[in-house]
Amino acid sequence: MSKDELKQAIEALARQEWDDAARLRAREVCAALLDALESGELRAAEPDGDGWRAIPWVKQGILLAFRAAESKDFSINGSFQFRDRDLLGPQDWLRRHDTLRVVPGGSMLRRGSYVGENVVIMPPAYVNVGAYIGDGTMIDSHALVGSCAQVGRKVHLSAAAQLGGVLEPVGALPVIVEDDAFIGGGCGVYEGARVRQGAVLGAGVVLTPSVPLYDLANEREIRAGADGVLAVPPYAIVVPGARPAAGRFAQERGLQLQAPMIVRYRDPDENPSLALEHALR
């Protein structure tokens, strides 16, 4: 099924009421969509010049897959018990990859996620439907790549890093981490925040569009744009910080709110880990 045929079928199924025949058709169409996502032929979001654009009909198709699917027992030998939607269970990645390393210990790639060449996934980690992982990326233990999140080439997701999922609304941009970025341990990137090429997030940084990013190097505040996206500039080094909470009650008690801060920018050839270490000294 071609891309145009998939698009037309998904949009038609989203408009109509379903009977048994329509549900069977939806299962066929959604299975083809998930295959195209796994092969990298389709993505839930794509680069668009210097920015990105969501592909609403692809996300709409993922939502249809949940609707068309049935509950299925995915348990293994009766010891590991699982139940999920039958169209969206574990991906059979071995038939697609001979360079991907998924180390034993409980990781899973869900159907409809793409993982490139020479990716390493440490256990336990989870890659959700619609996600895209570029070549040479490292996903460490307890990391989550949420639904439709886009991760570039040679990215490092450290232990317990969390990239939130964004399925609805279908036109909303997902979380995006671009090539050569470094995401430190315990970081959270949520609600469509964007980490641009080569940026470094120190351990514990949390990014959401509702919290401004303070650029100490250039003495400015970076806020979410008209599209609602908070973007970390290329090669910025971001660490956790704090800002005073407003109001007399908070001031009397010295209360503060979390505030991510750019402490400097690294050279593209500078090692991300060493750049972060130097920035924190």
Query: pLDDT by residue (tens digit) across 50-98?
Result: 999 999 999 999 999 999 999 999 888 877 888 999 999 999 888 777 8
179 confidence band (pLDDT: 50, 70, 90):
very high
Query: For tokens 């010891």, what's the residue?
Result: 79
Beta-sheet pairing, 206-207 with 256-258: unpaired
User: Could you name the CATH architecture of 88-280?
Assistant: 3 Solenoid (2.160)
Strand partners, 219: none
**Dist. CA 189–CA 170, nearest whole Å:** 19
Residue 146 has what pLDDT?
A: 98
Residue 76 has what pLDDT?
A: 83
Query: For tokens 């139940």, what's the residue?
Result: 83
Q: What is the dihedral of CA 59, 62, 66, 72, to 10 degrees?
A: -150
Going across the sheet that includes 150-151, the strands are: 114-115, 132-133, 150-151, 176-177, 194-195, 231-232
Residue 77 has what pLDDT?
A: 83
Q: What percent of the chain has a predicted confidence (pLDDT) above 90?
A: 89
* Mean pLDDT for the chain overall: 95
Taking only the tens place, the pLDDT of each residue in 106-161 is 899 999 999 999 999 999 999 999 999 999 999 999 999 999 999 999 999 999 99
Taking only the tens place, the pLDDT of each residue in 156-173 is 999 999 999 999 999 999
Q: What percent of the chain has a predicted confidence (pLDDT) above 70?
A: 100
Query: For tokens 């068309």, what's the residue?
Result: 68
Residue 65 has what pLDDT?
A: 98
Residue 93 has what pLDDT?
A: 86
Q: Judge whether residue 46 has pLDDT over 90.
A: yes
Structure tokens at 189: 């990137």
Taking only the tens place, the pLDDT of each residue in 185-202 is 999 999 999 999 999 999
Phi-psi region of 262 (alpha: psi -120 to 50; beta: other; left: phi over 0): beta
Q: CATH top-level class for 3-68? A: mainly alpha
Cα Rg, the chain, nearest whole Å: 20
Q: Judge whether residue 280 has pLDDT over 80.
A: no
Q: Which long-range contacts (CB under 8 A, 24 or more apart) does 184-187 make?
A: 184/158, 184/276, 185/140, 185/158, 185/159, 185/160, 185/161, 186/158, 186/159, 186/160, 186/161, 187/158, 187/161, 187/162
The residues spanned by each domain of the chain are 3-68, 88-280
**Dist. CA 18–CA 118, nearest whole Å:** 42
Over residues 221-242, the mean pLDDT reads 96
Q: 132-167 burial by CB neighbour count: b if 16+ within 10 A, else e?
A: bbbebbbbbbbbbbbbbbbbbbebbbbebbbbbbbb
Q: Judge whether residue 274 has pLDDT over 90.
A: no
